[in-house]
A and B are shown apart, each in its own frame.
Chain A
């Protein structure tokens, strides 16, 4: 019997809907990919998950819209809060969802260290290329030339490639997709949450802010989506379309996929050593 209800509703807080996102915001696609991933894996409810987010539009994806235990933390501090939750109760599946400003700017130190430790967390960074919630200022991922409220003559800084940065650490999994690669995106989420269950797993979703990036550039959401597809180049075939920088091309794909012991595996063997009374190496 076909259900009268949308499948995603069981993962959402009905009383919080509709979402507060702008019309055409790609956060909806991210929510959809999350919900599809859970649905396809047969997850009934999200009671064993804890979603942790920081400040910004992406941080609102779990809080309050998802029906899950969620901690909406200080700006930049989602990672350390998530670390505390995971280490204090390793039985919980801890997922961080936040933006490029939150994770890549003010919280970058925490992100890199969690990756270095191969901390047992899944992190989804929705990269909308600006600070969307505060009216579109330049972020560390803003492409050169983009008009923002803090670069009214066009951004001139070198942007950061967070995936490449994290791929250099001990993180187990690093991938980047866009909302235009919906199936890949969803499969990456499933991989992070259900196949690779340990270590640091990072997914970047390049999802330009519909209000402060796309509309300013005269693009409707559908056009922005098409542009994402056009600009994307698969990691395994580099140097295809335009090579002028991240603004012109978006390298998508899986940068890294390993299954090394995670932080907790290492911590548990350390604890074993401590209990046996061993001290110095």
Chain B
């Protein structure tokens, strides 16, 4: 079915299609429409909608709900995303499947609540203390809001991990055509085969351990402290901690092939290459068309997964290009990883602009590329 939806509406539709049956959240612009739709739809279809007293309660409520068997999610924006970080870390440590949608707005602090930005990139990656990594998906269109929300649930269930969908105000409030498939398949978490199968260890780090349900006599011990294969706290020993944190780390990084997704154009023959994600990537696509029409060889890598980040496509783009441009609605965060990929072998420049609901226009990006190439 084809519909005209905003990105926020598409997120909610994707979540419902994926079988989300528990939503807890706290109102915050520009993500609230997701909450409104869930408030209207979930109670009628046997799910639970819960308006929490704050974002900390929201993230912790979906953690509890997920352990009780629900496909649970929340959606928020900058300040609320900051408040949820500790809970996300707990979900990593306890291997709790969750979906968290962050519709980015201009910050820091209250910033410009109704204006888009891309400043939560590093927070999505490093917002929690300690060693951890959470898959981060970055939609560019309402269609991808739908598709990636579905995918986020699938990843969460399969890998027993929180998954972040990093949208922004432009995408969330922009209305576009979305193709909604008739049926969506999302796998459910695996249960233990018997009482003996450990819920917090796995012989293959790429495979999540089974998740025991509550109330069925598994007597599961869930803790955010360092724990052994059966959930017993061990807050002293090296062995238990390193083994656990290493496995949680590997569970995401060793699944790079499964998790990393991107799109590229002219990556191996571009004189000037762009690396972008989210709404900004839309302008890049157009800017490359403008440049090509003027006889400039331009190309791009558009990241659909921000983490785990595979640096190789960026490296390939850099091998041919004389310069790499990283446009961001912010002072530049993604550029740090692009620089890491390029290792100083190609010139990397940011194009940074944020505030007031100003997009980066394709025309200005094309002009900038020409300047960088020394043709302006």
Smallest Cβ distance from A13 to chain B, in angstroms?
8
B48 interface residue per 8 A CB criterion:
yes
**Distance between B130 CB and nearest chain A CB, rounded to angstroms:** 13
> Beta-carbon contacts of A62-106 to B below 8 Å, as 1s and 0s?
011001111111100101111111111101100000000000000
* Chain B residues closer than 8 Å to A70, beta-carbon distance: 220-222
| Contact string against A for B residues 57-83, beta-carbon threshold 8 Å, 1 for contact and 0 otherwise | 110111111111110100000000000
A92-B64 in contact (CB<8A):
no
Q: Judge whether A52 is part of the interface by a CB distance below 8 angstroms.
A: yes
Q: A241 to chain B: closest CB distance in Å? A: 38
**B219 touching A270, Cβ below 8 Å:** no
Question: Is the beta-carbon distance between A92 and B232 smaller than 8 angstroms?
Answer: no
Asked whether any CB of chain B lies closer than 8 Å to the CB of A113, the reply is yes
Interchain CB contact (< 8 A) of B87 among A16, A74, A267: A74
Mask of B216-260 contacts with A, CB within 8 angstroms, 1/0: 111111111100000111000000000000000000000000000
A124 at the interface (CB under 8 A from B): no
Whole-angstrom CA separation of A83 from B63 in the bound complex: 10
The CA of A69 and the CA of B224, in the complex, are separated in Å by 15
User: Quick check: which of A42-50, A174-182, A208-216, A224-232 contacts chain B, the rest being far away?
Assistant: A42-50
Residue pair A84, B222 in contact (C-beta under 8 Å): no
> Which residues on the A side are within 8 Å of B69 (C-beta)?
88-89
Q: Decide: A69 and B218 in contact? CB cutoff 8 A.
A: yes
Tell me, rounded to whole Å, the shortest Cβ–Cβ distance linking B330 to chain A: 29
Task: Render B178-215 as a binary contact track against A, CB cut-off 8 A, 1 for contact.
Answer: 00000000000000000000000000000000000011
Contacting residues, chain B, for A68 (C-beta < 8 A): 219
Whether A91 and B215, one on each chain, are in contact in the complex, defined by CB atoms closer than 8 angstroms, is: yes
Task: Determine the interface band of chain A, counting residues with CB < 8 A from chain B.
Answer: 35 or more
Q: A63 — which chain B residues lie within 8 A by C-beta?
A: 221, 223, 233
CB of A76, distance to nearest CB on chain B (Å): 8
Judge whether A275 and B50 touch: CB under 8 Å: no
Check A235 for interface membership: any CB of B closer than 8 A: no
Q: A274: CB under 8 A from chain B?
A: yes
Residue ranges of B at the interface with A (Cβ–Cβ < 8 Å): 21-22, 24, 43-44, 48, 50, 52-54, 56-58, 60-70, 72, 86-87, 90, 94, 214-225, 231-233
Given contacts A72-B221, A89-B68, 4 further A-B contacts (CB under 8 A): A77-B56, A80-B56, A88-B22, A88-B48
Jot down 19 A-B pairs with beta carbons below 8 A, ordered by A: A47-B219, A48-B215, A63-B223, A69-B218, A72-B222, A73-B60, A77-B90, A80-B58, A81-B63, A82-B64, A83-B57, A84-B63, A85-B65, A85-B67, A89-B70, A92-B214, A109-B57, A110-B56, A270-B43
